[in-house]
A and B are shown apart, each in its own frame.
Chain A
Amino acid sequence: MKKLIPAMLLLVALSAQADNYRLPKSPAFEEECGSCHMAYPPQMLHADSWRAMMGDLSRHFGSDASLDEKRRVAITDFLVANANGRKTGTTRDAAGKPLLRITETERFKKKHREVAAATFQRTSIKSPANCTACHRQAAAGDYRERSINIPK
């Protein structure tokens, strides 16, 4: 029991920290992935998910996001090295395939369970992929409660 209390305190401290992502630097990742959408923190998906996604960029959620091979490999390596699937919950879908959308992860769903589907569709937000609409400091990796401001 004596050992358990510090362990629990540590867990509480860690989960409070977990909404603040330390963003690893990669100019290639920021340029290529950040042109059309926010360059999401690599920690938000499992390495298998990044590998699967980076292997099919010409059909990237309905858009052609194809890259030259050298950059594709470099960005894949960067994402895999910084991935953190463990914290996102189950990393595969019912068919056993790696999850490809951050919004499909258990962590995302749990964190947004109080947000109605209609809220995500507001013209000021448009889609759950648009983190910065509500998480105003998301570009700096800050997803903490106190930085949230849901637009009308």
Chain B
Amino acid sequence: MRRALTIAALLFTATAQAETPRDFLTRFEKEAGSAASAERGARFFASKLGGEWSCASCHTEKPMQVGRHARTDKPITPLAPAANAERFTDAAKVDKWFRRNCNDTLNRLCSAQEKADVMAWLLALK
């Protein structure tokens, strides 16, 4: 019985930690306090907004495909969840890359609304 409980607890922890791309959309919308717009996300993704690069500079304008780092040329696996099941399944990674890449493209952190919009657009890509 004790073993069964341990296994059940482990399973629960594992499911609680694994996240899906939709969870991030929900989280960012909640933080922003308003609904996401995929259309706004698409514009945001393709625009240079203060820095030398846009998101698309590395991820391409349609991130169902492989991108390339704008400086080093290293291939970047597709960002859209429909093309890459590993994307947006780990909160620490998602937070790390939004922090780094927003600083690189906007010279500041992204707002929750901006992140929600980008998530909505990425989730709509098929």
Contacts and interface: CB of A to CB of B under 8 A. Distances in A.
B93 to A, nearest CB: 9
A130 B73 contact: yes
**Is chain B's binding surface mostly helix, strand, loop or mixed?**
helix
Interface in A42-98: 58, 61-68
B72 A127 contact: yes
A63 B74 contact: no
Q: Which label, helix, strand, loop or mixed, suits the secondary structure of the A interface?
A: loop
B74 A37 contact: yes
Interface residues of B, number: 12
B100 interface: yes
B30 interface: no
Interface of B: 69, 71-74, 92, 96, 99-101, 103-104
Interface residues of A, number: 18
A36 interface: yes
Contacts of A66: 96, 99-100
A38 interface: yes
A36 B69 contact: yes
The 6 closest A-B pairs by CB, nearest first: A64-B103, A37-B72, A64-B100, A126-B73, A36-B69, A63-B104
B75 to A, nearest CB: 11
